[in-house]
Structures are given as structure tokens and as C-alpha cells.
Chain A
Amino acid sequence: MSGIGTGYDLSATTYSPDGKVFQTDYAQKAVDNSSTALGIKCKDGIVLAVEKLVVSKLLVERSSRRIHNVDRHAGICVAGLLPDGRMVVNRAAEEASNYKSFYGEPIPGRVLCERLASYMHLFNLYWSMRPYGTAGLLATYDEDGPALYLVEPSGVAHKYHGTAVGKARQAVKNELEKMKLGQLTCREAVVEAAKILHKVHEEDGKPFEIEMSWICDDSGRVHQRVPAEVLAEAEAAAKAAMEESDMED
């Protein structure tokens, strides 16, 4: 970061001479340093997956959440600063609830995404605030079908067939690009996601957990965590695949 020490990075309301807002960039960096999270849009729904490093042997398994329900038809996987992520998730839940009570129908994915993006963007506008150091993979299922969005600290939001954030994002994206996402079912994608996360997991030897959710016909078009047995199968398949490729090497 060329901004460091130049004084142009003290507030989100100051541009650097070459047109950057360093505070926003730093927030993005917090996301980039996160452990890897990915989202896949399949033909029947969305799968969200995230690798979670086990920071201590004393940590209770599956105790810190990275994937949250926003409403029955929407969920978010957060990356970056997790407390910031929680704020974003709570805001999303609030938006969903308000929309439902005002219009009597579930908030459409596109609207939820736009509102979240606007919310995140707000924190890039005032000297007294810091942009959220978090990005959210948003999975929704509305009357137009399933959709995957990524909302970033700058307030940028895009709709994806598949994407990843965090340390190994580039490697994951390379893997995703090789896949035929339009033909994949969520059940298959769960296995693929497990394989990818095991493959790109950098700190070999360091233990990690996989947290995964889906919203598809199998889940009744409701966002929920992937059932434990389905996830266990996927992880077993992923480990087997890893060992196989090790043997080849």
C-alpha cells in the first residue's frame, strides 16, 4: 500500500492524489486476508462454503459461525472481520423483516443485495466512520429463482455464477471457472466445494473446519446449513480425492 505514511489514508473522505480511498482499500484487505469462503450457483440453488481455521485446540467445534440465516429465503456467508460481518448480517435481517412487514412478501434477492450494498457504502462517506472490513456472500431464492451476490466493503455488489473471497480466492476462482456450473446440482456442488476448500487450504497441517449452507429444492427453497451427514460425506469424498492426487504425485 503506497498510501501508508503519506497521510492520505487517515479518513475515508480523503482521496489520494491518484484517486484512491485508502480506508476502503484497507477494508478490502481485511477481507482478502480472511480465510477462504466461496459461493456456487447451481442449476437448482446456491451453495455457500467457508473454511474456518481452528485457532485453538480448546475451541468448541462449530462454535463460531460464518454463515447466517437472514430470512427463510436468504443467507449470508461473511469474510473478513467477523464482528463487522455480524453487523452486516443483522442489518440484512432487519431489512428482510421490514420489507416483509411492509409489503407482505419476502424481500427479493436483488433488493436485499442493493440495500446491503447501500448500507456498506454509507461507511465510506464520513470521516468519522470506518468502512466495514467484511464482505458478504449472499444466497437468495425468490420468485425469479436462486441468486448469488457478493457485497464488498466499498459498497460494490455483483451477481455471480460462482465466486470466492479470502486468502485463496484466486485459486478457488480458477477451480470454479473449470466447472460447468449451469449443469451442477447443489448436492454435487457440496462435494465440489469441499474438494476445492481442501485443495486450496494453504496452511497444510493446520486444522480447519468446513461450514456449508445451501438453498435449493433439497432444502425446501429455504436457506439452511447442509445436513451434517451430507457434509460429512462430502468431506470424506474430498479427503479421498486429496489422498488420491497425493498418490499420483
Chain B
Amino acid sequence: MLPRPTTHSKALGPGVAGPELAVATSAVLDRPPQPTAQRPLSGAQAFSVDPSLVESADGPRQHTQYPYVTGTSVLAVKYAGGVMLACDTLGAYGSTKRYKSLERIIRVNARTAVAAGGEISDFQYITRLLEELATDDYRTDDGIELGPREVFSYLTRVMYNRRGKMDPLWNSLVVGGVEADGTVFLGTVGMIGTHYTDSHVATGFGAHLARPMFRERQSDDMSEADAEALLRDALRVCYYRDKQSINKFQVAKATGEGVAIGKPFALETKWDYKAFAAPTKWAIGAW
């Protein structure tokens, strides 16, 4: 329980209850109050530094940028023998749907695929990192290749490192694949390095729109056809309700046979409900 003053506030005047101002105003001083970095006029407490007093002439030192060209949700589910990833191919520029053939799923190696939402330039940078990693693997030529779990772990470190520099890579990543021993792997990393693995994952809007469907219908031993049907249904919902999405999708499968990234396709959508044509027919006066 916070202590509250029982009498009126000296600063605000008689009859007005409320907390004391951190710095007394001219009402009770003979000169204007002088703010300090530790005691800002805004009324905050000591140790909460008033940013307006410590900013340099150029403003605060700022790394964290703003995303420009962005991709929206990525959805992925495990199924019997593999993992399936899906997303649309839009590169949005603010709210402009600018680039419509932007592929956001990459094959890292024979066993791993990565998909991304968020800032595309950062994803392209991550792609270059992973390419370098794969080339290094090739060069070593010891018959050992990074598995999806290792790629995932690497990406969690990259993302967390950059957030530690206050210069995050503005992405949500999904890593899927099959380990050498046949274990199916699926995980996701956020822009500040938060990460977890699960039987199904979805980033961005998909976390709200698609995951409830996944919880209901996904199982690790479901068939490939069922998994694809589930993803298509989830993509459709995302397309209906996420304004930064387009009806042009890609599905990738990572199985023991390798990574296959499918061609872009469009989904059938339904708009011919009678109530859609005349939504207020039985509700006269409604909008």
C-alpha cells in the first residue's frame, strides 16, 4: 500500500489533495525551480533520469532503427517426418504493399530451412551470415553439416548479441528442419533473442490468428496432407484479417529428404455469404 498524504498539497494549494510534487513549484519558492538530471520537473523520482536533460545536441544516441521493408507472419507446424513453413510473399513499405514477389523462406542446408518476418534488409543480412556458415561447413568437408537445432542456437546468439548492442535485427525468425537422427525440429527467435521450440509456431499476427487453429488441429504425427491443409486454412485466416498480407503464399517442407520450397500460389477465399452482401438486412438502423 502506497502512503498517501493526508493533508492538502502545499504545491497545489489548499483543499487539493494529492501527492507532493517532486520539485516544489514557484508557488512556494521565491525563484523558479531548477531541474536536475536526478530530479526532473516532471515529478519522477530520483534515479529515473529525465531524458530531456541528458540528451546531447543531436538527441539521444540511437541505434534502434525503424523497419522499412517488412514481411508479416510466418506459420510453421511439425508433422510426421518433417516440418512445414508458410508465409506470404509481400514486402510492405510502411502500409504500402510494395514488393509482391519477395521470398521469405530460405534453405540453409539439406536439413534446415529458415523463414522470417520483419525488416527484410536485416533478413538478407542474416541470410548472408547463414550462407557464410554453410560455405564454411562445405569447406571443412568432414561430412558433418549443421543441424536445425545448431542453426537455431546460432541465430538466438546473433539476435541477442545485437539487441545487447541496442541495435537489434528487426526480425522474427522461424527455424525448421530434421536432425541427422530423424528428429523433427521447430523453433522461433524474436528480435531481442527471445526463443523457444514447439510443435507449432507462428510469428506476428499469426500468433493470434493461426496458433489457436494449430492448438486445435496440429499433432506431431499428422500426415503431410493434413499439415498442408491446416497451414492453408491458417494462411487464409491471416489473409482475411492481416491488412499487411497478400494472397500469394509459399509453403516449404523440410524432411529427411531435404528442403523443398514451393512455388507461390493463391488461396481461394470466400465472400459470397448472403449476409455479406446485405449485412444490415435484419438489423435495420445498424451500419
A and B touch in the complex (CB under 8 A): yes
B139 close to A71 (CB less than 8 A): yes
Q: CB-CB < 8 A to A97: which residues of B?
A: 132, 135-136
- Contact of A69 (CB < 8 Å), options: B128, B132, B139: B139
User: Closest approach, in angstroms, between the C-beta of B139 and any C-beta of chain A?
Assistant: 4
Q: CB-CB < 8 A to B141: which residues of A?
A: 68-69, 224-225
Q: CB-CB < 8 A to B135: which residues of A?
A: 71-72, 97, 100
Indicate with 1 or 0, residue by residue over A100-124, a CB within 8 angstroms of chain B CB atoms.
Answer: 1100000000000000000000000
Is B99 engaged at the interface, CB distance under 8 Å to the other chain? no
Chain B: residues with Cβ within 8 Å of the partner, total of 8
Q: CB-CB < 8 A to B139: which residues of A?
A: 68-71, 93
Is B154 engaged at the interface, CB distance under 8 Å to the other chain? no
Q: Which residue of A lies closest to B142 (CB)?
A: A65
A101 close to B128 (CB less than 8 A): yes
Indicate with 1 or 0, residue by residue over A66-96, a CB within 8 angstroms of chain B CB atoms.
Answer: 0011111000000000000000000001000
Is B138 engaged at the interface, CB distance under 8 Å to the other chain? yes
Chain B interface, >50% SS class:
helix
For B128, B139, B140, B141, the residue with the greatest tally of chain A CB atoms inside 10 Å of its CB is B139
B132 close to A101 (CB less than 8 A): yes
User: Closest approach, in angstroms, between the C-beta of A140 and any C-beta of chain B?
Assistant: 14
How far apart are the CA atoms of A70 and B141 in the complex, in Å?
10
User: Closest approach, in angstroms, between the C-beta of B145 and any C-beta of chain A?
Assistant: 14
Q: What's the A-B contact tally at a CB cutoff of 8 Å?
A: 21
Indicate with 1 or 0, residue by residue over A10-52, a CB within 8 angstroms of chain B CB atoms.
Answer: 0000000000000000000000000000000000000000000
User: Closest approach, in angstroms, between the C-beta of A127 and any C-beta of chain B?
Assistant: 34
Q: CB-CB < 8 A to A71: which residues of B?
A: 135, 139
Q: Which residue of A lies closest to B141 (CB)?
A: A69
User: Closest approach, in angstroms, between the C-beta of A107 and any C-beta of chain B?
Assistant: 12
Indicate with 1 or 0, residue by residue over B110-140, a CB within 8 angstroms of chain A CB atoms.
Answer: 0000000000000000001000100110111
How far apart are the CA atoms of A70 and B139 in the complex, in Å?
6
Q: Which residue of B lies closest to A224 (CB)?
A: B141
User: Closest approach, in angstroms, between the C-beta of B130 and any C-beta of chain A?
Assistant: 13
Indicate with 1 or 0, residue by residue over A212-234, a CB within 8 angstroms of chain B CB atoms.
Answer: 00000000000011000000000
How far apart are the CA atoms of A166 and B138 in the complex, in Å?
28
B132 close to A72 (CB less than 8 A): no
Q: CB-CB < 8 A to B140: which residues of A?
A: 69
User: Closest approach, in angstroms, between the C-beta of A211 and any C-beta of chain B?
Assistant: 12
How far apart are the CA atoms of A225 and B140 in the complex, in Å?
12
How far apart are the CA atoms of A117 and B216 in the complex, in Å?
63
How far apart are the CA atoms of A97 and B134 in the complex, in Å?
12
Q: CB-CB < 8 A to A224: which residues of B?
A: 141
User: Closest approach, in angstroms, between the C-beta of B258 and any C-beta of chain A?
Assistant: 15
B138 close to A72 (CB less than 8 A): yes
Q: CB-CB < 8 A to B136: which residues of A?
A: 97
Q: CB-CB < 8 A to B128: which residues of A?
A: 101
User: Closest approach, in angstroms, between the C-beta of B85 and any C-beta of chain A?
Assistant: 25
How far apart are the CA atoms of A71 and B136 in the complex, in Å?
8
How far apart are the CA atoms of A15 and B135 in the complex, in Å?
43
A100 close to B138 (CB less than 8 A): no
Interface residues of B in 127-182 (CB under 8 A from A): 128, 132, 135-136, 138-141
How far apart are the CA atoms of A100 and B135 in the complex, in Å?
11
Q: CB-CB < 8 A to A225: which residues of B?
A: 141
User: Closest approach, in angstroms, between the C-beta of B185 and any C-beta of chain A?
Assistant: 25
For B128, B132, B138, B140, the residue with the greatest tally of chain A CB atoms inside 10 Å of its CB is B138
Q: Which residue of B lies closest to A106 (CB)?
A: B135
User: Closest approach, in angstroms, between the C-beta of B136 and any C-beta of chain A?
Assistant: 8
Q: Which residue of A lies closest to B131 (CB)?
A: A100
Q: CB-CB < 8 A to A101: which residues of B?
A: 128, 132
Interface residues of B in 236-255 (CB under 8 A from A): none
Q: Which residue of A lies closest to B140 (CB)?
A: A69
How far apart are the CA atoms of A93 and B139 in the complex, in Å?
8
Q: Which residue of B lies closest to A65 (CB)?
A: B141
User: Closest approach, in angstroms, between the C-beta of B33 and any C-beta of chain A?
Assistant: 55
Q: Which residue of B lies closest to A89 (CB)?
A: B139
How far apart are the CA atoms of A70 and B136 in the complex, in Å?
9
How far apart are the CA atoms of A138 and B132 in the complex, in Å?
21
How far apart are the CA atoms of A71 and B140 in the complex, in Å?
10
User: Closest approach, in angstroms, between the C-beta of B134 and any C-beta of chain A?
Assistant: 9
Q: CB-CB < 8 A to A68: which residues of B?
A: 139, 141
Can you give 5 contacting A-B residue pairs, CB < 8 Å? A69-B139, A71-B135, A72-B138, A97-B136, A224-B141
Closest 4 CB pairs of A and B: A69-B139, A69-B141, A93-B139, A72-B138
- Given A97-B135, A97-B136, 18 additional A-B pairs, CB 8 A: A68-B139, A68-B141, A69-B138, A69-B139, A69-B140, A69-B141, A70-B139, A71-B135, A71-B139, A72-B135, A72-B138, A93-B139, A97-B132, A100-B135, A101-B128, A101-B132, A224-B141, A225-B141
